[in-house]
Amino acid sequence: MVHHFTIDVEEHFQVSAMEPHLPRAEWDAFPSRVEASTLRIVELLEEHGMHGTFFVLGWVARRRPELVRRIAEGGHEVASHGWDHRRVTALDPTQFRRQVRESRDLLESLSGAPVLGYRAPSFSIVPGLEWALEILAEEGYRYDSSLYPVRRRGYGYPGGKRRPHTLDLGEHTLFEFPPLTLRLLRANLPAGGGGTFRQFPLGYTAQALRRSEAAAIPGTFYIHPWEVDPEQPRVPGLPFLTRVRHYRGIGQTMARLRRLLSTFRFRPIRDTLAELEPVEVGP
C-alpha cells in the first residue's frame, strides 16, 4: 500500500489561526521563509526516493516562481491551495471561482503540467458549501482533498467518507481524497498530519496509516513548510493557545518525518488518480 504525502505550501504567518491578529496588508512586510523550508521537505522526500503533492498558494507562486519550478522539476505534483489563504467560508462563489482559476493558471504556467487537485485553506469546505466542489469540477479540477471527515469548530466535514471516493455533482464528477482519520469509539479523530503529527506521539499517525493499509486504502498525510522551520521568527501578540498550537513540537518535525518516510511508502495523489481514471500528464 502506498499512501499520499501532501504539503500545503504557505508562509508561516499565513495560517488561519493568525488571521485575526495579522492583516493581509502586512504580509509583505514579514520575512519570507517558505522557500527554504519547502525545499527542506522536497529534499527529504528525494532522499527517500519519494514524491509528494504540493498544494501551493497563488500568493506564494507569484512571489516565488522558482520554487514552483523546482518542485515540478523534481517530479513532484503541483496542485492548488487557493490564492491568498482566505477560507472558503469567507468567499462567495464568484470569488472562489476566481481564486481557483487564477491559482491554477499561474501554477500550470510555472510547472508546465496540468493542475488536477485542490485543497481548501484549513479544510474549509464545510457542510453547506458544496457549491465549491461543483465550481472545482466546472473549472477542470479532477480531485479535491479538503473534506476532512471530523467534527471540529470552524472546519471539517462531519459525515463525510473516510476513504477516497467519487463525488457525483450532477453534470460532473470529482474525486475526493479526505485527509487521514483514526476511528475511535464511533468518532473520527483527525490523524492527517499537521498539529496531530507534531503534538501526539508518532505512533498515533502510524496507527492510522496501518489501519488504512489493513483496509487496503491509501491514507492522505499533510504537513506545512513552517512546521519544519524551528527558527521562524515568532509572530508577536498571538494569544496563548494559538502560540502553543503553532510552535509546539516544531523542533522535532524533521526527525519525525524521517522516521515516517523510513516506515511507510508515499506518492503524489496524482499517481493514485491515474490508476482510477486515464489522466493526461504533461503538456
Of 70-78, 120-128, 137-145, 244-252, the segment contacting Zn ion by CB under 5 A is 120-128
What's the min distance (Å) between Cβ of 34 and Zn ion? 11
Query: Nearer to Zn ion by C-beta: 117 or 121?
Result: 121
Query: Nearer to Zn ion by C-beta: 121 or 190?
Result: 121
Of 35-43, 102-110, 116-124, 183-191, the segment contacting Zn ion by CB under 5 A is 116-124
Of 30-38, 115-123, 190-198, 253-261, the segment contacting Zn ion by CB under 5 A is 115-123
Query: Nearer to Zn ion by C-beta: 8 or 227?
Result: 8
Nearest residue relative to Zn ion (C-beta): 8
Of 1-9, 91-99, 106-114, 253-261, the segment contacting Zn ion by CB under 5 A is 1-9
Nearest to 133 by CA among 148, 149, 119, 114: 119
Q: Please tell me whether residue 47 adopts helix, strand or coil conformation.
A: helix
Of 69-77, 108-116, 118-126, 256-264, the segment contacting Zn ion by CB under 5 A is 118-126
The residues in 49-78 that bind Zn ion, with binding defined as CB under 5 A, are: none
What's the min distance (Å) between Cβ of 280 and Zn ion? 28
Separation between Cα atoms, residue 5 and residue 205, nearest integer Å: 13
Nearest to 145 by CA among 78, 81, 207: 81
What's the min distance (Å) between Cβ of 172 and Zn ion? 25
What's the min distance (Å) between Cβ of 27 and Zn ion? 14
Q: Please tell me whether residue 53 adopts helix, strand or coil conformation.
A: strand
Query: Nearer to Zn ion by C-beta: 30 or 279?
Result: 30
Query: Nearer to Zn ion by C-beta: 19 or 259?
Result: 19
Query: Nearer to Zn ion by C-beta: 10 or 176?
Result: 10
Nearest to 31 by CA among 199, 162, 226, 240: 226
Looking at the DSSP assignment, which residues form a beta bridge with residue 9? 56
**Binding residues with Zn ion: total (CB under 5 A):** 3
What's the min distance (Å) between Cβ of 81 and Zn ion? 6
Query: Nearer to Zn ion by C-beta: 226 or 266?
Result: 226
Q: In whole angstroms, how far apart are CA 20 and each of 82, 90, 176, 244?
A: 19, 13, 30, 16
| Other Cβ atoms within 10 Å of 11 Cβ, number | 24
Query: Nearer to Zn ion by C-beta: 119 or 267?
Result: 119
Nearest to 197 by CA among 216, 179, 215: 179
Place of cell 514579514: 30
Q: Calculate ∠ Cα 66-80-235, nearest 5°.
A: 75
Separation between Cα atoms, residue 201 and residue 198, nearest integer Å: 8
Binding to Zn ion by residue 121, rule CB under 5 A?
yes
CB 63 within 8 A of CB 34: no
What's the min distance (Å) between Cβ of 10 and Zn ion? 5
Residues whose CB falls within 8 Å of the CB of residue 153, separated by 6 or more in sequence, listed in order? none
**Binding string, residues 2-21; x marks residues near Zn ion by CB under 5 A:** ------x-x-----------
Q: In whole angstroms, how far apart are CA 81 and each of 9, 154, 176, 263?
A: 8, 18, 15, 28
Give the residues lining the site for Zn ion (CB under 5 A): 8, 10, 121
